Structure formats: structure tokens, C-alpha cells
């Protein structure tokens, strides 16, 4: 291994250790355990068996802490330590990386034999500080290529230009949250209100506000990776590429006119990870298995279980409806009408999903069922039954 590259691995790994200890305190041990477990499994297990053990043990370890959080919230009625919540959130991201790496080893796409090389690249991949701050997920080979590219100095103007552009996007996303908050304050949500549209609009705006938090966080993660030198893959067509690590564009996601397209664009690297881990490896009901695994990975809170179930039903209904209507969209006005109506339907059903998943508790379920917006996910059930 080149000495320069090794220095970068050490720099990224030490940064991760320091960041974990400073921000999570004793709960950083949750991450240290996962990182050590990964190295032990890579060292002692055959590549053909490593993925099953890595994913199984990591998910069990993560689930134990998720259940402990629920025990504190619902049984003890206590607010969990913020450092523990941060550690579990980071542990979820580490689950993505270690399972992705273990599947790479099983499939033979990672060709570096552990016994004949330093464990530093593997440790750095699972514990580098930009990844601890929120992703986005990339493969081990992409990470290694990014670190090697740090030796190649990118054009300074291109580097500063892309970083400045992404920081500006973060500021715009953060600014958008303020008018959304003012709109929520101006509109009052009333249980069993006779004003149907007001409650629907209120929940839709609430979901937009929650989604803006995610969009801003993902864009900040891109900035941190680029600032650390990760994500540059040389020049292509005369332009420097800094967009290899991205969780998607807010504009592309929000303009998606089908629930299935929204699902693929939302948190794009996680969607690709779920597709690879579950969807492509499931023989029965891969769609529902994928969304069920996502609910498990997120923590199995009551709102999360219902939210991901609604999402799976909505996507399944979208597939059936599109297959039924697409041959009939022979005129341009029909296509535009279908796109506009489906965009509105996508926004309203995704609003139900986001509110359920983000609020987590049964209170979010009661909030939805007190509004007519809950009718829209039920329409997908009718589509599945009828078609």
C-alpha cells in the first residue's frame, strides 16, 4: 500500500474515532464493537459465509439497542440520552457499510485478501468520520478509489465551485423550513374538523418540513465528504466529477409523479442498499420483504411499521395501476392528466408515510386517522384488490 494512501486511511479512521468519542461518549462503544466484529469475521470466516454472519449479528446488535430505546420511551416513559440516539443512528449507517462490504466479499467484487494486506482500509471504510456524520453509502471499492484519488490534485476552481454550490443548496433548504413553519402556525389542525382540505394541507406541509430536514442533512453529508477529499473521481468530458456520493436531488425526488419512482429517489443510496440486500435476494414477495426489512432496520416503532406497510402497498398499487393505464394513455392530454393526478396522489400518500415513520409512536397513527388524508393510502389497497 502506498504510504500516502495509508496516511489518508489513518487520518480518516482517527477522525472517526475522535468524532465518536467526543459526540457519543461511552455510547461510542456500540460502534467500536461493530468495527471490531467486522474485522474478526473477515479474518476468520470464509468469504462465502461472511455475509450471513455479518448481517445477522449486526442486525441483532442494532435491534437490541432499538428495543432498549422503546423500553425507555414506552415503558419507563423516559427520554433517552441524546448521545445514545446519535450512536444508534450512526450504528444504522454502519450496518449498511459492513453488510455491503461482507456481500462484496461473498460475491468476490473485493479482491484484496485480508490475510495478505493491512486491515486499515476495512476499518477506515466502516469508521471514517464523513460516513459517521451521515453517509451517503458507497461501496468499498468506490471508497478505496476515492482515497487513492486524493493523491491526484483536482482543479482548485472546480473543487471550490462544487463545494460552494452545495453549501448554497444547504442554505436554501434550511431557509425553506422557515416559511413552512409559519404556514403550520397559521393553519390549525383540528381533530374531526369539518374543513377537510385544511387538515390535509396541514399534514402535507408537516411532511414537507420533515423532508426538508432530511434533504439538508444529506446535502451537508455530501459537503463533508467533498471537503474531506472523498467523492472526486477525476475529470470526465473535461469537467471534474464530485457527485459520485449523493443521496439524490430534492427537486428530482419531489417532482416524482409515481410512488415507486419516489421510493427509488428518496435516500437513493439506502434505497439501492435495500434493493441489493433484500429485494434481489427474496424469492417471495420481495417488495413487502424489502419494506419490512426497512422497518426492522429503522427500529420497529409502531408508526414505522405502519408507515412502511403503507409505502409497500402504495408502491404495489402503483405498479398495477400503471400497468393497467399505460396502454390507454394514447393522447398527450391523457398523459399530462395522469402525471398531474399521480403526482398529487404521490405527495399525499408519501405525506402519510413520512408523518408515520418520523413521529414513530401511535400518536402519529391517530393524527392521520383523524384526517381524510388517510383515505389516499386506502385507495392503493382498492387498486390492488380490483386490478
Q: Is the link from the previous residue into 136 a cis peptide, with omega within 30 of 0?
A: yes
236 beta partners: 239
Provide the pLDDT for residue 347.
95
Residue 157 — pLDDT band, cuts 50, 70, 90?
Answer: low
pLDDT reported for residue 152: 62
Banded model confidence at residue 151, pLDDT cuts 50, 70, 90: low
Kindly name the residue from 141, 217, 233, 298 that is annotated as catalytic: 298
Which pLDDT score, from 0 to 100, does residue 271 have?
A: 94
Q: Is residue 163 pLDDT above 60, yes or no? A: yes
Mean pLDDT on 326-347: 90
Cell numbers for 64, please give them.
437490541
Taking residues 351-359, report their average pLDDT.
Answer: 91
Query: What is residue 44's predicted lDDT score, i.e. its pLDDT?
Result: 87
Identify the pLDDT of residue 223. 86
Q: Does position 295 have pLDDT exceeding 60, yes or no?
A: yes
Average pLDDT of the chain?
A: 87
**What percentage of the chain has pLDDT greater than the value 90?**
54
Residue 145, pLDDT score: 84
Do residues 64 and 127 touch, judged by C-beta distance below 8 A? no
pLDDT of residue 28: 95
pLDDT value, residue 371 = 80
d(CA 248, CA 219): 9
Annotated active-site residue in 199, 225, 226, 267: 267
Distance CA 84, CA 88 (A): 6
**Beta bridge pairs of residue 239:** 236
Asked if 192 is an active-site residue, the reply is no
Residue 140 CB partners (closer than 8 Å, separation 6+): 100, 101, 104, 110, 121, 122, 125
Rounded distance between C-alpha atoms, residue 329 and residue 10, angstroms: 57
pLDDT at 57: 96
Q: Is the pLDDT of residue 115 over 80?
A: no
Q: How confident is the model at residue 274 (pLDDT cuts 50, 70, 90)?
A: very high
pLDDT at residue 5, as a whole number:
81
- pLDDT tens-digit map of 75-111: 998 999 999 999 999 999 999 999 999 999 999 888 6
Cβ count near 36 (within 10 Å): 12
Give the pLDDT mean for 285-312: 94
Confidence label for 118 from pLDDT (cuts 50, 70 and 90):
confident
Residue 235, helix vs strand vs coil = strand
- Confidence (pLDDT) at 55: 96
Tell me if residue 283 is catalytic. Answer: no
pLDDT given at position 266:
94
**For residue 149, what is the DSSP state?**
H
pTM summary value: 0.92
Split at pLDDT 50, 70, 90, the class of 177 is very high
The model's pLDDT over 230-247, given as tens digits with 9 standing for 90+, comes to: 766 555 555 555 566 788
How much is the pLDDT for 242? 59
Phi, psi of 59 (to 5 degrees): -70, -35
Higher pLDDT, 83 or 142: 83
Instruction: Report which of residues 229 and 45 the model is more confident about.
Output: 45
pLDDT digits (tens, 9 = 90+) for 10-26: 889 999 999 999 999 99
Residue with the bigger pLDDT between 139 and 65: it is 65
DSSP 282-297: -SS-HHHHHHHHHHHH
Q: Which residue has the higher pLDDT, 204 or 2?
A: 204
Amino acid at each position: 500500500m502506498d504510504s500516502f494512501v495509508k496516511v489518508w486511511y489513518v487520518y480518516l479512521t482517527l477522525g472517526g474515532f475522535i468524532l465518536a468519542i467526543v459526540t457519543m461518549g461511552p455510547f461510542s462503544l456500540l460502534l467500536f464493537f461493530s468495527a471490531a466484529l467486522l474485522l474478526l469475521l473477515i479474518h476468520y470466516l470464509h468469504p462465502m459465509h461472511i455475509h450471513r454472519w455479518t448481517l445477522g449479528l449486526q442486525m441483532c446488535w442494532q435491534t437490541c439497542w432499538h428495543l432498549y430505546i422503546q423500553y425507555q420511551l414506552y415503558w419507563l416513559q423516559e427520554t433517552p440520552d441524546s448521545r445514545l440516539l446519535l450512536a444508534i443512528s450512526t450504528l444504522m449507517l454502519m450496518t449498511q457499510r459492513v453488510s455491503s462490504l461482507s456481500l462484496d466479499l461473498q460475491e468476490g467484487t473485493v479482491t484484496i485478501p485480508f490475510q495478505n494486506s493491512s486491515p486499515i482500509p476495512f476499518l477506515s471504510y466502516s469508521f471514517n468520520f464523513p460516513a459517521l456524520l451521515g453517509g451517503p453509502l458507497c461501496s468499498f471499492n468506490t471508497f478505496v478509489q476515492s482515497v487513492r484519488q486524493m493523491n491526484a490534485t483536482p482543479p482548485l476552481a472546480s473543487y471550490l465551485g462544487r463545494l460552494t454550490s452545495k453549501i448554497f443548496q444547504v442554505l436554501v433548504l434550511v431557509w425553506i423550513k422557515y416559511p413552512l413553519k409559519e404556514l403550520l402556525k397559521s393553519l390549525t389542525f383540528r381533530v374531526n374538523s369539518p374543513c377537510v382540505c385544511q387538515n390535509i394541507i396541514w399534514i402535507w406541509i408537516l411532511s414537507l418540513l420533515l423532508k426538508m430536514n432530511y434533504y439538508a442533512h444529506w446535502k451537508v453529508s455530501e459537503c463533508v465528504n467533498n471537503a474531506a477529499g472523498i467523492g472526486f473521481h477525476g475529470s470526465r468530458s473535461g469537467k471534474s466529477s464530485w457527485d459520485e456520493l449523493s443521496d439524490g436531488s430534492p427537486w428530482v425526488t419531489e417532482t416524482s409523479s409515481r410512488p415507486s419512482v419516489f421510493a427509488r429517489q428518496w435516500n437513493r443510496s439506502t434505497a439501492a442498499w435495500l434493493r441489493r440486500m433484500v429485494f434481489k435476494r427474496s424469492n417471495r414477495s420481495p417488495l413487502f420483504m424489502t419494506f419490512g426489512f426497512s422497518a426492522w432496520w429503522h427500529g420497529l416503532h409502531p408508526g414505522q411499521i405502519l408507515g412502511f406497510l403503507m409505502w409497500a402497498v402504495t408502491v404495489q398499487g402503483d405498479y398495477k395501476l400503471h400497468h393497467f393505464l399505460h396502454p390507454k394513455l394514447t393522447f398527450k392530454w391523457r398523459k399530462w392528466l395522469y402525471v398531474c393526478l399521480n403526482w398529487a396522489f404521490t405527495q399525499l400518500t408519501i405525506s402519510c408515510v413520512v408523518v408515520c415513520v418520523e413521529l414513530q409512536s401511535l400518536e402519529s397513527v391517530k393524527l392521520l386517522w383523524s384526517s381524510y388524508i388517510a383515505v389516499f393510502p386506502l385507495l392503493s389497497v382498492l387498486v390492488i384488490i380490483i386490478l
